[in-house]
Amino acid sequence: MTTALLETAPAGRHICQIHKDPAALASSVSRFVASGLKRGERVVVVAVPDHVRLILAELEAAEWNADAFASTNQLTILDAAALLERFMKNGMPEWNDFQRTVGTLISRRSGASYPGVRVYGEMVNLLWHEGNHQAAVRLEEYWNELARHQSFCLMCCYLIDALNPEHHHGPLPDIGRTHSDMVLTEHNRRVQAAVDQASREILGSTLSVTLSLSGHEEHAGEHRLPAGMRSMIWLKKNMPGIYPRVLERAREHYSAMAPSAS
């Protein structure tokens, strides 16, 4: 899936990106936001303050006056943690509060008519990094349920280093399952190239190709995960003795690669 989806953002799509670097995340999100503003759509950004600053800096560099759009309510920016608190109960999102809070936020028109609504949210990333994976997945499912009743496009981003062994746990396939589209990032592409090279050297085969050709996925949604990440998750579970060697070699190759210009 190309990054053009971040610009077109059709209603009903639930887009996901997995980034390693907040600056790269902000670059993608600003593209998503600016494209919506250009199309006259209403745009809602729900992010942590540090990421909001990066996103606004990207918009300013591209000569988009965020304050002007915010003054007309075409652009709404909210703190992810504060919004999350409004519908969390006992460590889990509560549907009625979510629908009342987020549903009302999305449907708000403020007297203006917009051809579409697009939302960027990273509340799920907050829950994921708190270790509350169950709540993150449930929240993704709530977004999907809300999309059955309201028209909008949603973009989510997770900060996950696919070559960090601490990130190779939890219900990662559920990230793929609960999204309609996974838009690859520069990090994803470099990870796949590094893992492929490492697996050829150590296993004699390209692991991502082998998994792709097998067509097998143990959990729904695995096929949507970036290939390099999926390869490392599979290797950790099925070849734990080989996993550390491939991981170490892949990290070496990743470090040696120059980021592409894309």
Contacting residues for 239 by C-beta, under 8 A, at least 6 apart: none
**In whole angstroms, what is the distance from residue 193 CA to residue 87 CA?**
41
- Look-up: residue for tokens 């919004």? 83
Angle CA 123–141–74, to nearest 5: 55
CB 213 within 8 A of CB 261: no
CA dihedral 182, 149, 83, 121 (to 10 degrees): 20
Residues 164-215: tens digit of each pLDDT = 998 887 789 999 999 999 999 999 999 999 999 999 999 998 988 888 777 6
Q: Distance between the two ends of the chain, CA-based, in angstroms?
A: 15
Q: pLDDT-derived band of residue 2, with 50, 70 and 90 as boundaries? A: low
Position 33 pLDDT exceeds 50: yes
Position 111 pLDDT exceeds 50: no
**In whole angstroms, what is the distance from residue 93 CA to residue 95 CA?**
6
Crossing angle, helix 49-61 and helix 22-38, to 10 degrees? 60
Q: Is residue 188 classed as helix, strand or coil in its secondary structure?
A: helix
Count CA atoms within 13 Å of residue 96 on its CB side.
1
Closest listed residue to residue 172, CA positions, set 226, 248, 241: 226
In a 10 Å sphere around its CB, with 0-12 CB exposed, 13-18 middle and 19+ buried, how is residue 196 labelled? buried
Show the domains of the chain with their CATH numbers: 1-159 (3.40.50.300), 167-175+185-254 (no CATH)
CB 37 within 8 A of CB 114: no
CB atoms within 10 A of CB 244: 12
Residues 75-103: tens digit of each pLDDT = 999 999 999 999 999 999 999 999 999 99
Q: pLDDT-derived band of residue 223, with 50, 70 and 90 as boundaries? A: confident
pTM of the model: 0.92
